[in-house]
Amino acid sequence: MILIVCWSFQAKDNKYFQNHSAPTFDRSRVVAETRATDSYQNVLFSLIQFKLHTGVFPRRVTVVTHEFKRARFMECHFPAMGLVTVDTRHSSYQHKAAVIGINPPENVTASESLARGEMMNGIGLWKADLYGVNENLASKRRKRGWIPGMVDEFSNMDLGAVVFDLLRYDGGKDRNEWFSQREDLPWSYAKNDITQQN
């Protein structure tokens, strides 16, 4: 199974990104993740939702989002949660996570405007706060309904200690250090090398 992450309202509004020639999704296999308040949480909580729904963590993740957000996922979110290596130039493990990017039409929002906004309010913030724990991103989470302590909702789920450690991770001593147990996470790039399977 492959995990595809997208904002549920975007997916439904776009009829799960189908066109008339595409096969129909089996809606019984579509599960919405409803706790996330930002793109990092959307991926992390979707990994957990996948485990709760299937009994296993995914071996591959595909995120469907806007193209202008690709770098945010590839350079910040995926390495922060161990889906790819920190050195994004090392492509051996890029098979573990992918982004399908679809920007709005140019006549709706100019690509220059999207790129500028992403640099100021997206990847620009995430590079300085990989886990969304510092005030700028944490306040965005609170405004979107995240309440400190909500992570405890996950404590009774059979996720494993390392996953719960990531959920509670505060960015380390400098509040922007890589989570030291990334390779121990059940979905880590260092595990389940799908390129070796038939």
Residue-level pLDDT at 172: 96
Q: The tokens 């309202």 sit on which residue?
A: 9
* Helix, strand, coil percentages in the chain from 3-state DSSP, rounded to 5: 45, 5, 45
Which residue, among 87, 84, 89, has the nearest Cα to 191 in the 3D structure? 84
Domain ranges, ordered by start, for the chain: 3-196
Q: Which pLDDT score is estimated for 197?
A: 45
Nearest to 122 by CA among 175, 86, 69: 69
Give the model's pLDDT for residue 45: 96
Per-residue pLDDT tens over the stretch 63-100:
999 999 999 999 999 999 999 988 766 555 567 899 99
H-helix segments, 72-128 = 78-80, 111-121, 123-127
- Cβ 130 vs Cβ 180: under 8 Å: no
Pull the structure tokens for residue 112.
Answer: 């220059």
- Residue 3: phi, psi to the nearest 5? -90, 125
How far is the C-alpha of 100 from the C-alpha of 76, rounded, in Å?
16
- DSSP letter (8 states) at residue 76: I
Which pLDDT value is given to residue 161?
Answer: 96
Asked if 157 contacts 138 with a C-beta cutoff of 8 angstroms, the reply is no
Residue 29: the pLDDT is 73
Spans of the chain, pLDDT less than 50: 1, 8-10, 16, 20, 195-198
| The two structure tokens encoding residue 193 | 């090398």
